[in-house]
Chains A and B, each alone.
Chain A
């Protein structure tokens, strides 16, 4: 276990750096990411503007930094919503059982019957643009996964001797869930969440790319790439920088996710 924890740090560092960058972004940007100056439009990368400028003359480096805040923080928000809310529902269903359980599980069946992005695209379309609406659209479709997972985990531990012992010694429902159910199922949920962040970042950026997420002029990686589409031939740096930012962020989170999975479940470890 000690060996694992040591190497875990190597995987946490890139993610921690990214989070730090995202939080510190407003204080370290070299230029105002929203300041337009048309005579500096579409400059290729140089020493003044490290990643060049976009068609309104805005500094792309600054926009990528600020975009980290939008993209990473909204993805984490989405993850916390679906993992928190979904697991809570799953725990209640699994613990309570009966009619409530079967009704909620039938509802989750219906949500699971929709192909995820298809439904999210439609919901985001109906709600209109805006990063929070995109988060809501993806949350609406993604919670059943966690509800299912949490419910099945609760059902497996429900009749363990320590659960019966706690129940017999008079622990109430809330206490049971807080002290006995939740700590015992948190591991697998955490692993699933860690493996999910990469996909979530890509899906949110994808919605913004389609014009269904972050609205201009907000700096967000997906919508920055969408803006650069028409200038792909003349100014490829406009899409390459935010594109690389998405790729590196997703890769960093995926590496950490794989590592966490291996830690919790060494049997599944590859190789």
Chain B
């Protein structure tokens, strides 16, 4: 196990170098550097002044030197200042991250609570009316873009019925419901189908047939044996969908004015605030990679058979 973790951590190094290099190159290729953006906002300035400022910030150095300095900065939590607010980028990011994590965790909990029972129910009632109804709903959920869901929810629950607040992050706990439900609908639709497939697979296994033959009730089989396997799979599914969830929060946050990193990034792009965008891309990628790694390790821990499969690869 220790060796496995060590190897996975080693594999992380080139990935991290790649992520930082790509993000740096991307922002470097953007039109105008920090000095241009900074001075063009406060009116025209002579090129000499810009050159002095560039030398001060190290922007006249070769690309690779700049990249090294910048990576060193990230490692020490110094990612420069925002072009717009002049606040430290790292602090801004760290300020907004909890709101995004809160939204993601709540919508994941919603998803698990909805998709697990529905998936199991669909599998147990395979091809019956319930199954078809659930399949139809999950198909609809899968085909709805989240910005449409968000606007429809706002229209009905906030504007027409006046039940829930439109926009959030106030102390009001109700404000998280609409954004979380928006994210839940597309995720839940996917999970329901996948959980149904896993349960169907599991119900055909010899141990289930054996249990049935011994007279164990269907409910006990489901709760005691099948549910365990399903939960292991859900962990992988959740880890895999973190990526799309991170992207999805950007849209949902900016619709509901949820003050998280997704909204921060979208606002930064519209204002061409490159340091903020850079921080967003890098930290999202790092979070994504780390979560995937932990899910792998957890999966491995929960189901030791997976170790054998890995070695064969």
Contacting B280 at CB < 8 Å: which of A107, A120, A122, A225? A122
B131, B151, B274, B278 — most chain A CB neighbours (10 Å): B151
Q: Which residues of chain A are within 8 angstroms of B30 by Cβ–Cβ distance?
A: 126
- The smallest beta-carbon distance between A123 and chain B, in angstroms, is 7
Flag the segment in A46-54, A81-89, A157-165, A243-251 that touches B.
Answer: A243-251
Measured CB to CB, the closest approach of chain B to A224, in angstroms, equals 12
Which chain B residue has the least Cβ–Cβ distance from A124?
B269
Instruction: Tell me if A110 and B18 are in contact (CB < 8 A).
Output: yes
Task: Knowing A113-B285, A115-B284, A209-B147 are in contact, say whether A122-B139 is a contact too (CB < 8 A).
Answer: no
A132: interface (CB < 8 Å): no
Q: Contact: B266 with A210, CB < 8 Å?
A: yes
B225 interface residue (CB < 8 Å to A)? no
Say yes or no: is B164 at the interface (Cβ < 8 Å to chain A): no
Q: By the criterion CB–CB under 8 Å, are A121 and B144 in contact? A: no
Contact flags (1/0) for A84-126 with B, using CB distance below 8 Å? 0000000000000000000000110111011111111111111
Least distance between A197 CB and chain B CB atoms (Å): 11
Q: Are B269 and A117 in contact (CB under 8 A)?
A: no
B151 touches A225 (CB 8 A): yes
Q: Do most interface residues of chain A lie in helix, strand or loop, or is the interface mixed?
A: helix
Q: Is A147 an interface residue (CB 8 A)?
A: no
Known pairs A114-B288, A121-B265; A251 contacts B15 (CB<8 A): no
Binds B, one of A21-29, A32-40, A181-189, A232-240: A232-240
Minimum CB–CB distance for A45 against chain B, Å: 16
CA distance A202 to B247 in the complex (A): 12
Residues in B219-278 with C-beta less than 8 Å from chain A: 242-244, 246-248, 250-251, 254-255, 265-266, 268-270, 272, 274, 277-278
Q: Does A254 contact B (CB under 8 A)?
A: yes
The CA-CA distance from A250 to B285 in the complex, in Å, is 28
Residue of A nearest to B156 (CB): A236
Known contacts A113-B18, A232-B154, A125 near B244 by CB under 8 Å: no
User: In the complex, A231 Cα to B255 Cα: how many Å?
Assistant: 13
Interface size class of B (residues with CB under 8 A): 35 or more
B126 at the interface (CB under 8 A from A): yes
Say yes or no: A115 contacts B243, CB within 8 Å: yes
Report A216-271 residues with CB < 8 Å from chain B CB.
222, 225, 229, 232-233, 236, 239, 243, 246-247, 250-251, 254-255, 270-271
**B196 to chain A: which residues have CB within 8 Å?**
270
A211 beta carbon closer than 8 Å to chain B? yes
Give the chain B neighbours of A111 by CB distance below 8 A: 22
Given the complex, which residues of B lie within 8 Å of A233, measured CB to CB?
Answer: 155, 159
Contact: A246 with B145, CB < 8 Å?
A: yes
Contact yes or no, B247 A115, CB < 8 A: yes
Mostly helix, strand, loop or mixed at chain B's interface? helix
Which of B145, B244, B277, B281 has the most chain A CB atoms inside 10 A of its CB?
B145
B210: Cβ under 8 A from any A Cβ: no
A117 touching B151 in the complex, CB below 8 Å, given contacts A122-B269, A254-B142, A270-B135: no
Task: Point out the residue from A113, A116, A118 that lies within 8 Å of B289, measured CB to CB.
Answer: A113
Once bound together, how far apart are the Cα atoms of A61 and B58, in whole Å?
54
Instruction: Among A118, A255, A270, point to the contact of B281 (Cβ < 8 A).
Output: A118
Distance from B103 Cβ to chain A, minimum over Cβ atoms (Å): 15
Is A68 among interface residues, defined by CB-CB distance under 8 A? Answer: no
* A251 engages B139 (CB within 8 Å): yes
CB distance from A109 to the nearest CB of B (A): 6
By Cβ-Cβ distance, the 3 closest A-B pairs, closest first, are A117-B247, A110-B18, A125-B269
Q: Could you name 24 residue pairs across A and B whose Cβ atoms are closer than 8 Å?
A: A109-B15, A110-B22, A111-B22, A113-B285, A114-B19, A117-B243, A117-B248, A118-B280, A119-B281, A120-B247, A122-B265, A125-B268, A126-B27, A126-B29, A202-B145, A205-B145, A206-B145, A232-B151, A232-B154, A232-B155, A243-B151, A251-B140, A270-B197, A271-B126
